[in-house]
């Protein structure tokens, strides 16, 4: 029986600066009272969520009839043939994975989340911000590029995202994996045709015109319905009430969804209630799954400080996907969280070998939602959230800035696989090691980190930590 893996969406909202608003929209029949910059920021804050970006703007394709846009290029991006990753793919994978660890560490070190579960899709976030980056220039672009580690060569970046998206959406039969981008534009706002064409051609982001000025809440519901459809209803109300207002001009969204089953499912009859030591030291009862099979299906390695387990998902064709679990040998995740980089994680993965492992892994569900302007600003991209932002490649002016970035995710891990964002299962098997070598026991009864990745490219699709699981 299949399980869903996760769905994430990112939204970034850009707002028209006050001077531009007065100049461009004084002729419109909209009653927008006088307000200072702080008020504008508050009003527009609600236009971002889960792996999508809400900016301010318009142009594109109406939800019903075709929009009145200038003629634009529609040639599809080149899709690479299966095989070794291209230079573009490798550059985007490396950038995505480094950003995944950077953002994870920033969230883990934030007092707000110090003892909380963490879960997000770095690929969803970087996809939405890549489209945002295409419209940025000057310091705004430089800061986004630095935080997300985007390749300096834009052509390489575009080729990489195009190829990766094509691979994700390749329609494998053993599991469901897909991602989608979209632009939602205020119908009266003059975006540059080149920007709209770049988003469509390189990121598959079609543009739909909406009436943010006169019907902001109807526009919000339209975007939320798209998100729900793309994520099999796992992400609801990505944009909360009030997040779209008359100052919103463009919403850039991304959604990612995965549904798969373990190569070896856990036997439900072996799931028992056991204790889990949370990050605060509290003992809580959880449903603990277990595998003691003799056939070695899982990959395993360990160091003096941690154990790593790789649990694969079914894949009769297309990409091979797996969950990696990093379990500290001590009680605390802190040392593990601070010690590992993209290079050390890659080294651990190279050391994985198929061997018999006795696996104990908890069932859990998790829902997360983040508003990330403060976090991303602290990571090195503050300008895009201020009136000094330069998104002139979107509209030919400097009237837009990002109001908010919200990311939302859901995960359910059970005996069958992973639903809605992450699932963890350890399959034990009989290895080829000498009899005197002890069989490793992987008992995840204390906080751990988990990653869902594309085995072909190494792309981290989802990453999180479990401090206190809630069993289903």
What's the pLDDT band for 373 if we cut at 50, 70, 90? confident
Four-way CATH pick for 267-363+426-466: 2.30.33.40, 2.30.39.10, 2.60.40.10, 2.30.40.10: 2.30.39.10
Give per-residue pLDDT as tens, 92-141: 999 999 999 999 999 999 988 888 899 999 999 999 999 999 999 999 99
Lowest mean pLDDT among 245-259, 361-375, 418-432: 418-432
pLDDT at 410 over 70: yes
Region at 322 (left for phi over 0; alpha for psi -120 to 50; beta for the rest): beta
All structural domains of the chain with their residue ranges = 3-260+366-411, 267-363+426-466
Give per-residue pLDDT as tens, 261-310: 999 889 999 999 999 988 778 899 999 999 888 787 789 999 989 999 99
Residue 84 has a pLDDT of 65
User: How large is the average pLDDT for residues 54-58?
Assistant: 38
Residue 317 has a pLDDT of 67
What's the pLDDT band for 351 if we cut at 50, 70, 90? very high
Q: How far is CA 124 from CA 53, 187, 219, in A?
A: 10, 26, 22
Q: What is residue 160's three-state secondary structure?
A: helix
Phi, psi of 133 (to 5 degrees): -60, -35
Residue 29 has a pLDDT of 39
The pTM (predicted TM-score) of the whole model is 0.79
Give per-residue pLDDT as tens, 163-206: 999 998 887 778 888 899 999 898 999 889 999 999 999 999 99
Return the CATH architecture of domain 3-260+366-411: 2-Layer Sandwich (3.30)
User: How large is the average pLDDT for residues 322-342?
Assistant: 85
Question: Which residues touch 205 (CB under 8 Å, ≥6 apart)?
Answer: 131, 181, 182, 183, 199, 252
Element housing 20 (H / E): helix 18-25
Q: What is residue 28's three-state secondary structure?
A: coil
Phi, psi of 47 (to 5 degrees): -100, 35
């Amino acid at each position: 029986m299949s399980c869903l893996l996760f769905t994430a969406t990112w939204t970034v909202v850009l707002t028209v600066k006050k001077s531009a608003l007065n100049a461009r929209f004084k002729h419109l029949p909209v009653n927008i009272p006088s307000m200072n910059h702080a008020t504008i920021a508050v009003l527009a804050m609600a236009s971002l969520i889960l792996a999508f970006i809400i900016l301010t703007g318009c142009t594109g394709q109406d939800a019903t009839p075709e929009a009145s846009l200038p003629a634009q290029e529609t040639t599809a991006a080149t899709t690479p043939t299966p095989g070794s990753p291209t230079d573009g793919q490798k550059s985007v994978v490396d950038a995505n994975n480094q950003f995944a660890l950077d953002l994870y560490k920033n969230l883990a070190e934030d007092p707000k989340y110090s003892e909380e579960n963490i879960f997000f899709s770095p690929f969803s976030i970087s996809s939405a911000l890549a489209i945002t980056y295409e419209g940025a220039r000057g310091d705004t672009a430089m800061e986004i590029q630095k935080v997300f580690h985007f390749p300096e060569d834009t052509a390489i970046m575009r080729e990489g995202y195009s190829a990766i998206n094509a691979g994700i959406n390749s329609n494998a039969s053993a599991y469901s994996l897909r991602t989608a981008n979209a632009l939602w534009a205020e119908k009266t706002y003059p975006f540059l045709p080149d920007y709209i064409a770049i988003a469509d051609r390189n990121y598959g982001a079609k543009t739909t015109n909406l009436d943010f000025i006169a019907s902001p809440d109807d526009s919000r519901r339209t975007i939320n319905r798209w998100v729900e459809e793309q994520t099999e209803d796992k992400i609801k109300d990505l944009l909360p009430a009030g997040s779209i207002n008359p100052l919103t001009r463009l919403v850039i969204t991304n959604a990612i969804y995965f549904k798969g089953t373990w190569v070896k499912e856990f036997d439900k009859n072996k799931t028992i209630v056991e204790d889990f030591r949370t990050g605060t030291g509290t003992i809580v009862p959880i449903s603990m799954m277990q595998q003691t099979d003799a056939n070695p299906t899982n990959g395993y390695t360990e160091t003096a400080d941690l154990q790593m387990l790789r649990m694969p998902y079914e894949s009769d064709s297309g990409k091979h996907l797996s969950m990696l679990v990093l379990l500290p040998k001590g009680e605390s995740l802190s040392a593990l969280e601070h010690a590992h980089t993209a290079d050390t994680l890659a080294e651990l993965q190279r050391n994985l070998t198929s061997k018999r492992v006795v696996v104990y892994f908890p069932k859990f569900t998790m829902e997360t939602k983040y508003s990330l302007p403060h976090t991303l600003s602290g990571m090195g991209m503050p300008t895009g959230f201020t009136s000094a932002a330069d998104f002139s490649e979107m509209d030919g002016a400097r009237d837009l800035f990002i109001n908010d970035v919200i990311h939302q995710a859901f995960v359910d891990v059970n005996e069958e696989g992973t639903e809605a964002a992450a699932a963890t299962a350890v399959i034990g098997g009989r290895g080829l090691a000498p009899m005197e070598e002890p069989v490793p026991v992987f008992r995840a009864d204390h906080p751990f980190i988990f990653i869902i990745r594309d085995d072909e490219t190494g792309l981290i699709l989802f990453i999180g930590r479990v401090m206190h699981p809630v069993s289903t």
